[in-house]
Amino acid sequence: MKKFLSLCLAAATLTAGAVGMSACGGNDTLVVYTEAGFAPFEYLSDGQIVGVDVDIMNRVGEKLGRDVVFENANFDIIIDTVAEGRLTNVGAAGLSITDERKEKVDFSVPYYTASLYVIYEVGGEGAPAISQSGANGDVIYWDSLAGMNIGIQGGTTADLFLSDEIDGGVLQGTGAQRTEFDSLSVAVNDIGLNINAVIIDELPAQTLVANNEGLACLPLYYKGATVEEDEAAVDQYAIAVTKGQTEILDAINEVLNELLDDVDEDGNNGIDRLVMQHLDLATN
């Protein structure tokens, strides 16, 4: 991931219709902060930021009659930068809804529900134990990560979940540690060397495993009283908007609802189809 180097400079990538415009833009420009290392929602292709969130926000730009400019920034500054509302009013980066974040920004309607997955080395000595969870099949339980060094991308929901479990959950006092990485690709390359596993959302986990031989991934679960009561670690994605920017938020919700309501004969809505489209691109 590119480091965020300055307020308005650095790695801005312009979408069609926005070429030649400053990232600090004017009233005709909608600046969107993202982090282009989270396929299929945002990733780099031929030097351009593309992905599901990019497609969504381009539709929003059309609805508002504004050009859209995407800034590639560190994930953990996006919410605070949107909250400030000076450099950008929108964050679209596979952002999960949390109570803490809702105090800072307004969120769109949720448009995707993601499960947390554990990436591990197949046959690795330090790999977490695989368990059976009723009808859920093979899973990795949180307590299987006891004493392990777990890699995460800073500021993600995986980071929040893991920190909570280490500080006061099932991993408290077990010796489990978190190691923060700026890049998911760097994190997975460290599995089996300095860390035991990486926790990340399902789709990017599957993409990373497909592109890295010797790795596999499984869903992360909380143990219930019975295997039928086991619970997956899940979160919902939404787009973050500066509080008070109702015109932008309304346009985003309108686009998202149109996509969610557009269900094909196979039961896939417009968001699902965008995800499948970009998964094909992201794994080539």
Res 28: pLDDT? 87
DSSP H helices, 65-180, are 78-84, 99-102, 157-168
State whether the Cα torsion 266-270-272-276 is positive or negative: positive
Containing 140, the helix (H) or strand (E) segment is: strand 138-141
Distance from chain centroid for Cα 230: 24
User: Token pair of 204, please?
Assistant: 């990017």
Give residue for tokens 């619970």: 231
Backbone φ and ψ for 187, nearest 5 degrees, come out as -60, -50
Q: Where are the domains of the chain?
A: 12-112+236-282, 114-234
Q: Among 3.40.190.10, 3.30.1330.10, 3.40.50.880, 3.90.960.10, what is the CATH number of 12-112+236-282?
A: 3.40.190.10
| CATH fold match for the domains 12-112+236-282 and 114-234 | yes
Q: Among 2.60.40.1120, 3.40.50.261, 3.40.50.300, 3.40.190.10, what is the CATH number of 114-234?
A: 3.40.190.10
Backbone φ and ψ for 83, nearest 5 degrees, come out as -60, -40
Res 278: pLDDT? 85
Across the chain, which has 284 residues, the per-10-residue mean pLDDT values are: 28 35 61 91 93 97 97 95 97 93 97 93 95 90 97 85 93 96 89 96 87 95 91 92 98 98 93 86 52
Q: Which amino acid is at 128?
A: P
